[in-house]
Amino acid sequence: MRLLLVEDDSALVADLVPELRRAGYAVDLASDGREARFLGENESYDLIVLDLGLPLMNGLTVLAEWRADGNRVPVLILTARDSWREKVDGLKAGADDYLTKPFHCEELLARLQALLRRSHGKVVAELRAEGLTLDEEHQQILPDAGQPVPLTGTEFRLLRYFMMNPGKLLSKTRLTEHVYEQDFDRDSNLIEVYVRRLREKIGKQRIETRRGQGYVFKG
């Protein structure tokens, strides 16, 4: 899952980014409004965490512009501004959730997870496919029968993206975009490697290859 963190407080960023990465997000950073607007317009994110008081361009304006362009990416506003007027304005501008600073990291992660689910039309609390469940907390596979199977970070991100989009044809480019961070050297062969590893863990038939097009996850 690719996440854009828009935040100008470098201390908070330094603290938050490792937590987000550990939770399985590929994190891009923007420290001012213009950069945020540009990245939001040109990259495909699964989630955006947006601060409001930003240099160069106000967070609400950035959000309103994304929405005006038809960009429906789930946005969580993370701000110290805690009046109800500001909360109402934030949600009216198109935010999906609003968390005020100071906050607990666990709460942010829980809200991000819930937001992801909602944006993929999943209401249930856990990601499931036939015969297996994804344990997001411990980043492992829980087969209905047998021992838990641990996953590496990249494997986890890739499988989660597959499970969020079952039955959909996902190109290698799209998978790369949602699994890796912006600065990552995008060699699509790496995706092939990770798909092969995932198949070893969950069964070959789960991920179908469409030659020249991409992969389909069978839910």
Partner 1 sequence: MLLVVLFVLLGIAAWIGRESAIQFALSRLHHDAEAILGGMDMTQREVVRSLPPIYTQPLSGHYYLVRFDDGARLPSRSLWDQDLAIPEQQPKTATYWLARGPQKQQLLIWQNSYEKDGRRFSIAIAEDVAPLLSAIQRFLWIGVIASLAAVLLMLLVQRLAIRRAFARLDAIRDDVRAVREGLRSELEEDVPAEVLPMVVEFNQLLHAWGKHQERSRNALGNLAHALKGPLSMISRHGEKNGDPRLQDQARRMRQLIEQELKRARITGRAMVGKHFRPGEDLTDLVDTVTALHHAKPLRITRVVDAPDTLPFDQNDMLELLGNLLDNAAKWARREIRLRLSTNGELLLVLEDDGPGIEPGLREDLLARGKRLDENQPGHGLGLAIANDIARLYSGQIRLEQSAGLGGLRVVVTLPLTPIH
Distance of CA 136 to the CA centre of its chain: 13
Min. distance of Cβ 101 from partner 1 in angstroms? Answer: 5
* 56 vs 88 by CB, closer to partner 1: 88
Q: What are phi and psi of 143, to 5 degrees?
A: -70, 150
Is residue 121 within the footprint of partner 1 (CB under 8 A)? no
C-alpha distances in Å from residue 84, one per residue of 57, 67, 93, 194: 22, 21, 14, 45
Least separation in angstroms between residue 26's CB and partner 1 is 23
Instruction: Tell the smallest beta-carbon distance from residue 47 to partner 1 (Å).
Output: 15
Shortest Cβ distance from residue 32 to partner 1 (Å)?
16
For the chain, the C-alpha Rg in angstroms (whole number) is 18
Among 18, 22, 34, 53, binds partner 1 (CB under 8 A): 53
Quickly list DSSP for 62-79: HHHHHHHTT----EEEEE
Stretch that binds partner 1, among 77-85, 137-145, 158-166, 200-208 (CB under 8 A): 77-85
- Closest CB to partner 1 among residues 27, 75: 75
Single-letter amino acid code for the residue at 57: M
Q: Which is nearer to partner 1, 36 or 115 (CB)?
A: 115
State the minimum distance, in angstroms, from the CB of residue 169 to partner 1. 29
Residue 9 in the binding site for partner 1 (CB under 8 A): yes
Residue 56 sits in the site that holds partner 1 (CB under 8 A): no
* Smallest separation (angstroms) from partner 1 to the CB of 123: 9
Distance CA 103, CA 141 (A): 30
Q: Mask of contacts with partner 1, 80-119, x by CB under 8 A?
A: xxxxxx-xx--xx--xxxx--xxxxx--------x---x-
> Is 79 a binder of partner 1 (CB under 8 A)?
yes
CB of 146 to partner 1, least distance (A): 31
Q: Point out which residues bind partner 1 (CB under 8 A).
A: 9, 11-12, 15, 53, 79-85, 87-88, 91-92, 95-98, 101-105, 114, 118
